[in-house]
C-alpha cells in the first residue's frame, strides 16, 4: 500500500487525503454517478491472517449498519468492497478540514463558539445510538467543519469494529485522551462512552486545553484510571454551568453520566442560557482571545489637545457625549455580542468574518447586515439579526438608559442613492450569486444605476435566472 493505486473497485483515485494507523484515505471519483467520494482503504497489517475472513464479514456488517445513519451531521456511507485483499469503504466527500485543523491548538472558543458544534455532534450521536451504533472514537480529527460551520462526524462503522483481532492496541479502540475509562479497561461499552468522549471534546473547545493530558498512552491511562481527571477551573471561557456539563459527561462511572445524547444536549442548552442570564454573555477573557484592536491609539482621531507620547491614553468619553464613529465599532463588548450570535449559526469562522466585514462596514447595522448574508437559510439569517439587535439594545440601555442604539454605537446611515442602499445592493447581489456565480456582481452593478428600488432591481435581474422556480425564489428574496 506504499504506492497510490489508480483505481479502487470502480472508483478512480485522484489523490491521498490522509494516512493513519488504520490505512489511507483517498479522494476519488465515482464514474457511475459522476461525483467525488472519499475512499478509506484499511491496512492489511492490521489483520491477522487466520482471522481475515471473519474480520471482513464483520467489517461488512458494521459498514452496512453505519450506512443506516442517514443524518446531516454524519458523513454518509456509500459502498464497501475489497481491493487486493484489503477492505475499503466509500464515503461522502466533504471538502472541509477536521476540527483539530479548523480550530488552532490552544485556542478556546468559549461557550458560544463551542456549544453549536457540540449540539450538532450530540444530534448525530442520538440517531446513531438509537440504531444501536456506538462510535467509540469521538475526537476532533473525526469531526469535520464545513464552510457553513456544519459538523460532519466521520468513521462510523470502522470505529465500531471489535478490536479482538487487531494487532495494534488502541488503533480502533479509541484515541487515549478522549477514551472513556471502560475502554481503557477493555470492558463492554455503550452510548455513554461516546458521551464521555464528547465531554472531553467540549472541554477542549471551551478552553483550548485537553481534559486529560499525557505524553503517552500509558500516562493518560494512569491519570484517568488512578489519579482521576483534573478539569480546568471555571472561568470566562468555561463558566460554572458549562463546567458542570463537562463534569457529568466525563464522570468515571458510566452510570453517573448523562443517560443519553439528548439529555446532554438539553443540559448544554440550559447551561448556555444560564451563562447568558448571569451576564456572562460577554466574557472579557474571551473577547481578548478573539479580537485584535482595529486601530491603535496613534491611528485614532486626534484630540483637541494632544497628550504627550508617554502619557497613558485618556479614558473614553461617555457613549452619549459624542456621535459614534466607525472606530467605536471596535468596542470589544459590542463585537463580542455580534460574533457570539454569529457563531451559533456558522461556528468558529465567525471571528474571522467579523474582522473582515469590519473593514468595509460604516455602521453596526451595516456590519450585521453584511454578516447576515453569510447565513443560510433565510430564517436563520433573520433570527441572527433579531437576536443581535436585541442584545445590542440591551447593552445600550445598560450603558446609557434612554439613548437610542443608533446614537450609541454608530453614525447615521448614509441616505440611499437612487432608492437603493449599499445593504440592499449587497443582499440582492448575494442572492443572485447563488444562481449565476461571480458574474452576478457585474449584472447588479450595471442594473443598480437604473433601478428605483430594491424590488425594481430584483425584477430587472430576474430575467437572467432561467429556471422558473429559482426565478421566483430570487424575486421573493429566498
216, 220, 221, 227: CA torsion to nearest 10: 140
Structural domain contains residue 2: no
Structural domain contains residue 287: no
Same domain, 271 and 133: yes
* Interatomic CA distance for residues 143 and 145, integer angstroms: 7
Would you state the pLDDT for residue 226? 73
361 to 183, 279, 381, 384, 393: CA distances (angstroms): 51, 28, 18, 17, 19
- Do 131 and 273 form a contact (C-beta atoms < 8 A)? no
* Interatomic CA distance for residues 460 and 339, integer angstroms: 35
Same domain, 119 and 264: yes
Would you state the pLDDT for residue 402? 53
Would you state the pLDDT for residue 129? 92
240-292: pLDDT as tens digits: 999 999 999 999 999 999 999 999 999 999 999 999 887 654 333 333 222 22
**Which domain covers residue 19, as residue numbers?**
7-92
Does pLDDT of 335 surpass 70? yes
> Where among 57, 92, 127 does a domain terminate?
92
| β strands within 290-420, DSSP E | none
257-268: pLDDT as tens digits: 999 999 999 999
The percentage of the chain sitting over the pLDDT mark of 90, rounded to a whole number, equals 24
Would you state the pLDDT for residue 478? 62
Q: How many Å separate Cα 437 from the centre of its chain?
A: 25
Same domain, 235 and 126: yes
Would you state the pLDDT for residue 438? 53
Tell which wins on pLDDT, 154 or 199.
199
Would you state the pLDDT for residue 281? 44
Same domain, 129 and 246: yes
Give the number of other Cβ atoms within 10 Å of residue 459's Cβ: 13
Based on the residue annotation, tell me whether 456 is a catalytic residue of this protein: no
Same domain, 77 and 149: no
> Where among 40, 70, 92 does a domain terminate?
92
Does pLDDT of 358 surpass 70? yes
Same domain, 24 and 137: no
Does pLDDT of 462 surpass 50? yes
The closest of 345, 366, 348, 349 to 357, measured between CA atoms, is 366
Same domain, 72 and 130: no
376-409: pLDDT as tens digits: 666 678 888 888 888 777 777 776 665 444 444 4
The closest of 94, 105, 193, 148 to 347, measured between CA atoms, is 148
Does pLDDT of 163 surpass 90? no
Residue among 30, 123, 137, 424 flagged as catalytic: 137
Same domain, 68 and 197: no
**Averaged confidence pLDDT in the chain:** 75
Same domain, 250 and 350: no
CATH label of the domain that carries residue 18: 3.30.200.20
Instruction: Look at the chain and report how many structural domains it folds into.
Output: 4
> Where among 48, 66, 92 does a domain terminate?
92
Would you state the pLDDT for residue 205? 93
Same domain, 35 and 173: no
Same domain, 60 and 141: no
Would you state the pLDDT for residue 199? 97
Same domain, 225 and 202: yes
Cell of 20: 493513519
Amino acid at each position: 500500500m506504499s504506492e497510490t493505486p489508480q483505481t479502487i473497485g470502480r472508483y478512480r483515485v485522484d489523490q491521498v487525503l490522509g494516512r493513519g494507523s488504520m490505512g489511507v484515505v483517498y479522494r476519488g471519483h465515482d464514474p457511475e454517478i459522476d461525483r467525488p467520494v472519499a475512499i478509506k482503504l484499511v491496512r492489511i497489517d492490521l489483520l491477522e491472517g487466520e482471522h481475515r475472513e471473519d474480520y471482513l464479514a464483520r467489517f461488512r456488517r458494521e459498514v452496512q449498519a453505519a450506512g443506516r445513519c442517514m443524518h446531516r451531521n454524519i458523513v454518509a456511507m456509500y459502498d464497501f468492497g475489497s481491493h487486493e485483499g484489503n477492505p475499503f469503504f466509500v464515503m461522502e466527500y466533504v471538502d472541509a478540514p477536521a476540527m483539530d485543523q479548523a480550530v488552532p491548538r490552544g485556542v478556546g472558543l468559549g461557550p458560544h463558539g463551542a456549544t453549536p458544534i457540540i449540539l450538532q455532534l450530540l444530534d448525530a450521536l442520538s440517531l446513531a445510538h438509537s440504531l444501536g451504533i456506538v462510535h467509540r472514537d469521538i475526537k476532533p480529527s473525526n469531526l469535520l467543519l464545513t464552510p457553513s460551520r456544519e459538523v460532519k462526524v466521520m468513521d462510523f462503522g470502522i470505529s465500531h469494529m471489535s478490536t479482538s483481532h487487531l494487532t495494534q492496541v488502541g488503533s480502533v479502540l479509541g484515541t487515549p485522551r478522549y477514551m472513556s475509562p471502560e475502554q481503557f479497561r477493555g470492558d463492554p461499552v455503550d452510548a455513554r462512552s461516546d458521551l464521555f468522549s464528547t465531554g472531553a471534546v467540549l472541554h477542549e473547545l471551551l478552553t483550548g486545553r485537553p481534559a486529560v493530558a499525557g505524553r503517552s498512552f500509558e500516562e493518560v491511562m494512569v491519570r484517568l484510571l488512578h489519579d482521576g481527571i483534573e478539569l480546568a477551573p471555571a472561568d470566562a471561557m468555561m463558566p460554572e454551568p458549562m463546567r458542570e456539563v463537562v463534569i457529568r459527561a466525563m464522570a468515571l462511572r458510566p452510570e453517573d453520566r448523562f443517560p443519553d445524547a439528548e439529555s446532554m444536549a438539553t443540559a448544554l442548552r440550559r447551561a448556555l442560557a444560564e451563562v447568558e442570564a448571569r451576564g456572562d454573555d460577554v466574557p472579557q477573557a474571551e473577547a481578548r482571545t478573539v479580537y485584535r484592536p482595529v486601530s491603535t491609539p496613534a491611528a485614532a482621531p486626534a484630540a483637541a489637545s494632544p497628550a504627550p507620547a508617554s502619557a497613558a491614553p485618556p479614558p473614553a468619553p461617555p457613549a452619549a457625549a459624542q456621535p459614534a464613529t466607525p472606530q467605536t465599532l471596535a468596542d470589544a463588548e459590542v463585537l463580542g455580542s455580534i460574533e457570539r450570535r454569529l457563531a451559533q449559526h456558522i461556528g468558529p469562522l465567525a471571528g474571522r468574518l467579523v474582522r473582515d466585514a469590519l473593514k468595509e462596514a460604516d455602521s453596526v447595522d451595516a456590519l450585521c447586515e453584511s454578516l447576515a448574508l453569510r447565513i443560510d437559510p433565510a430564517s436563520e439569517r433573520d433570527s441572527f439579526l433579531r437576536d443581535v439587535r436585541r442584545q445590542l439594545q440591551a447593552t445600550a440601555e445598560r450603558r446609557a438608559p434612554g439613548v437610542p442604539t443608533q446614537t450609541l454605537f454608530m453614525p447615521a446611515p448614509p441616505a440611499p442613492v437612487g432608492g437603493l442602499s449599499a445593504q440592499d445592493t449587497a443582499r440582492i447581489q448575494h442572492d443572485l450569486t447563488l444562481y449565476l456565480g461571480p458574474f452576478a456582481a457585474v449584472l447588479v452593478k450595471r442594473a443598480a444605476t437604473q433601478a428605483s428600488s430594491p424590488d425594481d432591481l430584483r425584477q430587472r435581474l430576474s430575467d437572467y435566472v432561467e429556471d422558473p422556480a429559482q426565478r421566483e425564489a430570487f424575486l421573493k428574496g429566498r
